[in-house]
Structure 1
């Protein structure tokens, strides 16, 4: 057998092993998603915060397993740091007739980027105008490849924020997206409770925000489990595009 034939055979074996590994990981994720869906369907009494906390720890344990398995699927193309994308974002705004005067994007210590005034404004002054075509909206999602899924899914029909989340995920992974200059300046992570460890979340326990935080985490975990099952079992073309990019880390 020649070297070329041996090389092709070796490559084929490696590809088969990789495919088998991915299939196995998907099976593990499907089991965990089902478990997560069951856990997040448990109703705890509002007055029993102890039970809610114990349930949260079970949910978080499953999420940790999911994050480990999904880590290879979270690999993103190398992007510039956010501040290097601002110039391109401003160019995109100008090209699409957004107007702003006396304000600029600035970095604030401890808060990352925000809008900074460069002059004094009178109360009621118009600071900027943004054409509707620049806004990433539910209507855009309904007119996209996601429309077939929206038309049959009751959650997407009744919760526009989730529709936008899935649409943003698709656009983020589309190098030719019209909104790419905007998406490129978005943070990779946020300071919401969805990124808190159990120890950090426990610090909220003396406050009324603790219960709300547990509810939010549980809700997002349930949404993830619900859509993971839908994406991997429904026969809708756009869902094939979501299969490789819909992860808990990308969704939260």
Structure 2
């Protein structure tokens, strides 16, 4: 009996060591790719003059690195599927509970557009349709007063770009099971129809448009931000950043 127990304990230790080695190897691979991504996006950002053709070639290089990063991150992260439509009632009740007021509208599904707001009656011009109290809004003030505050205070990018501050705060709160905003998170889509989710083939479709170059720039900026914050999160000694290490992925950030 004693030998069996000892054998099981030894097996668990071996599995634990192997698991740690895998995590360390994965992070090492990611770190190399992230550094490569940061250098690539930073060098191009510093270039004053470039043609659309050069921007496109550069985008393909960035996209190739991002694909490798996403493959590694997804292999180690279990993504729970969110059935957002099943959570709508809880979300609406949560809004009412905290002072939101709306009548004559409802959340409905639209073909090709997923969920949206639908009027169930006619409204006169200038009518008040809904009232949303500050309490249910996720604001920069919430982020500053949270555990993320110490990081915001020392990071120049977060101090000057509140949209990024809110992105990190949302990610942090979303990983908290008892978050105040959980009913809101539970109805968010898993992916969006922005250019950040376009394949290179889909981007090519808008190449004749002025939006093409803007789309490449947006993708490049998000890639650079991801690389910047990945390094910060994994090298800084601010306690809250340890909570972000396993959940800060490119898919989650974009």
Instruction: Pick the TM interval, shorter chain.
Output: over 0.9
CA–CA distance in 2 between the matches of 1:108 and 1:78? 21
Query: Aligned Cα RMSD in Å?
Result: 1.1
* Structure 1: unaligned runs, 5 residues or longer: none
Cα deviation 1:95-128 (Å, max 9, x = unaligned): 1121101110011100011110000001110001
Counterparts in 2 of 1:2-151, with a 5 A limit? 2-43=3-44, 44=47, 48-79=51-82, 81-151=83-153
CA–CA distance in 1 between the matches of 2:172 and 2:131? 27
* Structure 2: unaligned runs, 5 residues or longer: none
SS of the equivalent of 1:119 reads: coil
Cα deviation 1:38-69 (Å, max 9, x = unaligned): 11012355551111011001000100110111
1:212 corresponds to? 214
Change in CA separation of 1:203 and 1:137 when aligned onto 2, cut-off 3 Å: same
CA–CA distance in 2 between the matches of 1:74 and 1:120? 46
CA–CA distance in 2 between the matches of 1:93 and 1:55? 44
CA–CA distance in 2 between the matches of 1:67 and 1:23? 17
TM-score normalised to structure 1 length: 0.97
SS of the equivalent of 1:106 reads: strand
Could you tell me how far 1:202 is from its partner in structure 2? 1.2
Could you tell me how far 1:206 is from its partner in structure 2? 1.0
- Is the Cα contact below 8 Å between 1:74 and 1:250 reproduced in 2? no
TM-score normalised to structure 2 length: 0.96
Change in CA separation of 1:187 and 1:78 when aligned onto 2, cut-off 3 Å: closer
